[in-house]
Amino acid sequence: MKRQANVRIKTLKIDGIDVGAREGETILELARENGIHIPTLCHLDGVSDWGGCRLCLIEIKGSNRLVPACMAQAEEGMEVFTKTPRLVTYRKMILDLLLSERNHVCAVCVSNGHCDLQSMAQELGNTHVGLPYLNPSLPVDATHPYFIMDHNRCILCQRCVRVCREIEGAQTKGAMGRGIEVRIIHDLNEPWGQSLTCTSCGKCVQVCPTGALLQRGKAVGEMVKRRDFLPYLQMMRED
Partner 1 sequence: MHERFDEITQKELADNRAAQHVVKVCVAAGCLSSQSAEVKTALEQGVNGRSCKVKGVGCLGLCSEGPLVAIEKHLPDGSSQNIMYQNVTPEDAPAIMESLDKEPVARLLCPTDVPFFQRQQKIVLENSGEIDPERIEEYIAADGYRALITAVTEMAPFEVIEQITRSGLRGRGGGGYPTGLKWVTVAKAPGPDKFVICNADEGDPGAFMDRAVLESDPHRVLEGMAIAAYATGANEGYIYVRGEYPLAIARLKTAIRQAQRMGLLGSNIAGTTFSFNINIRLGAGAFVCGEETALIASIEGRRGQPRPRPPYPAEYGLWGKPTLINNVETFANVPTIIRKGGDWYASIGTAKSKGTKVFALAGSIVNTGLIEVPMGTSLRDIVYEIGGGLPNGGVCKAVQTGGPSGGCIPASYFDTPVDYESLKELGSIMGSGGMIVMDESASMVDVARFFMEFCMTESCGKCVPCRVGTVHMYNILSKIYQGEGTPRDVELLEKLCDMVSVTSLCGLGQSAPNPVVSTLRYFRHEYDELIAGANGSQTAVAPTTEVAS
Partner 2 sequence: MSEKVKLATVWLDGCSGCHMSFLDMDERLLELAEKADLVYSPLVDPKTFPEMVDVVLIEGAVSSEEDYEKIKKVRAHSKVLVSLGDCAVTANVPGMRNPFKVQDVYNRAYIENADYNQHIPVQVIPPLRKTSVPVHNVVKVDVFVPGCPPSADLIFYVLSELVDGRIPNVSGMTRFGA
Q: Which residues lie near partner 2 (CB under 8 A)?
A: 103-109, 112-113, 118-119, 121-122, 125-129, 132-133, 135-138
Stretch 8-27: interaction string toward partner 1, x if CB under 8 A:
--------------------
| Options 19-27, 143-151, 179-187, 213-221: segment touching partner 1 (CB under 8 A) | 179-187
Write down the H helix ranges in the chain: 27-33, 85-101, 116-124, 159-163, 203-207, 229-238
d(CA 222, CA 113): 9
CB of 55 to partner 1, least distance (A): 8
- Dihedral (CA of 159, 161, 164, 169) sign: negative
| Options 110-118, 172-180, 217-225, 231-239: segment touching partner 1 (CB under 8 A) | 172-180
12 Cβ neighbours under 8 A, 6+ residues apart: 18, 19, 21, 30, 74, 75, 76, 77, 78, 79, 80
* Binding partner of 138, given partner 2, partner 1, none, CB within 5-8 angstroms per partner class: partner 2
Q: Is residue 113 a contact residue for partner 1 (CB under 8 A)? A: no
178 Cβ neighbours under 8 A, 6+ residues apart: none
Q: Of residues 15, 66, 142, 202, which one binds partner 1 by CB under 8 A? A: 66
CB of 211 to partner 2, least distance (A): 10
